[in-house]
Amino acid sequence: MIEFIALLLGSAHGVYLSFALLAKNNKENNANLLLALLIFSFSLSIFLIFLDVADIPAISGISAHLIWLDAPIAFLYGPLLYIYVQKLTSSSFYKVNFLHFIPFFLVVVLSIPFYVQSAEFKLAWVLHTPTSQLGLWYLTLFETIFVVSEFVLITIYFLAVYHRLIRHRKEIADNFSNVEKISLTWLLRLSSTLGFLFICWLLCVIIEYSLDTCSGSIIGVSCGALESTANILMRMNEYGMVACFYLISIYGLNQPAIFNDKSRASSIEIDHPFNDSESVCSVIDTQKQQV
């Protein structure tokens, strides 16, 4: 019951937070737009988990058509988080950013043949081991290629986010004394939390795959204990994601657009040294007055 309520409230709050961020979006910066899309992606994933946990008969037919809908969504997490951090730490917009979404669109295209199948086919595919060539192909595509690819890509993006945030923090600390508004400490903490939840998710998936071939125990651990561990990791991931929504509500909505004037922001581009400290300070003072 607690899980049911937490998932429902979490997904609802995530949708509300997405619209709240859109209302505060600065069209010259669009950082809030990126964060809104990231939160909405997480919210949709949580809502799909909620439907699975709720097991409501009235919507069971609809739920069948939502099977593996979150497979493409997972390929949005890394790019949206990285580009959001990039927008907060740099005034430049790189056209190459569009390339980050190629895996997402590729997965969508590859998934279309599965999504157009009947609800009966999808339910049988999930509940029973596929025997048809088409079913086996989908099983390999979703549970092997997609899962491995998303884990590899998310890991790469997390490392890139950490590197960029730490470099930004060092650059700011070396040049200014009062930088609370632009230190992005909250974002570093959020990324760390998401990284921890990602590890929980990864361990849960590994254990679930191991359970498919578990006959009594694995490396001295019983199958029952492994299943309990997987359930605990999954609950931690779900509750942790809901907690992240509230963290973003507190800090993300109040995060000023650090770079919203290209002519002034050029002197504090994160990829270049600080050449004009007086100009930079004037930008920071302007941002404080706006907040």
Taking only the tens place, the pLDDT of each residue in 186-228 is: 788 888 888 898 898 888 888 887 877 777 777 767 888 888 8
Average pLDDT over residues 264-270: 40
pLDDT surpassing 80 at residue 166: yes
The answer as to whether 287 is a domain residue is no
The torsion angles phi and psi of 113, rounded to 5 degrees, stand at: -60, -35
Q: What is the pLDDT of residue 55?
A: 64
The tokens for 138 are 């989908």
* Averaged pLDDT of the chain: 76
Banded pLDDT at 159 (limits 50, 70, 90):
very high
The answer as to whether 54 is a domain residue is yes
Spatial distance between the Cα atoms of 93 and 184, rounded to a whole number of angstroms: 19
Give Cα separations from 276 to 87, 180, 262 (angstroms).
21, 20, 15
Nearest to 171 by CA among 88, 251, 248, 97: 88
Q: What is the pLDDT of residue 105?
A: 94
Banded pLDDT at 256 (limits 50, 70, 90):
low
Decide: helix, strand or coil at residue 184. coil
The answer as to whether 288 is a domain residue is no
Q: What is the pLDDT of residue 287?
A: 46
The residue whose two tokens read 């590890």 is 199
The answer as to whether 200 is a domain residue is yes
Average pLDDT over residues 180-187: 66
Give Cα separations from 16 to 9, 107, 248 (angstroms).
10, 27, 12
pLDDT surpassing 50 at residue 278: no
In sequence order, what are the beta bridge partners of 218? 221
Evaluate if pTM is beyond 0.85: no
Spatial distance between the Cα atoms of 164 and 160, rounded to a whole number of angstroms: 6
Tally of structural domains, the chain: 1
Residue predicted with more confidence, 83 or 266? 83
Stretch (H or E) spanning 247: helix 223-251
Spatial distance between the Cα atoms of 154 and 60, rounded to a whole number of angstroms: 31
The answer as to whether 273 is a domain residue is no
In the chain, the amino acid numbered 14 is G
pLDDT surpassing 90 at residue 106: yes
The answer as to whether 250 is a domain residue is yes
Banded pLDDT at 104 (limits 50, 70, 90):
very high
Spatial distance between the Cα atoms of 89 and 77, rounded to a whole number of angstroms: 19
Banded pLDDT at 264 (limits 50, 70, 90):
very low
Residues composing the chain: 291
In the chain, the amino acid numbered 246 is Y
The tokens for 169 are 């923090």
pLDDT surpassing 70 at residue 24: yes
pLDDT surpassing 90 at residue 156: yes
Average pLDDT over residues 170-174: 72
Q: What is the pLDDT of residue 270?
A: 39
Q: What is the pLDDT of residue 95?
A: 72
Q: pLDDT by residue (tens digit) across 38-69? A: 989 988 888 888 877 776 554 455 666 777 78
Q: Which domain holds residue 239?
A: 2-263
Stretch (H or E) spanning 177: none
The answer as to whether 272 is a domain residue is no
Average pLDDT over residues 76-81: 92
In sequence order, what are the beta bridge partners of 224? none
Spatial distance between the Cα atoms of 39 and 13, rounded to a whole number of angstroms: 10
Share of residues in the chain with pLDDT > 70 (%)? 75
The answer as to whether 160 is a domain residue is yes
Average pLDDT over residues 242-254: 76
Taking every pair of Cα atoms in the chain, the longest distance, rounded to a whole number of angstroms, is 70
CATH of the domain at 226: 1.20.1070
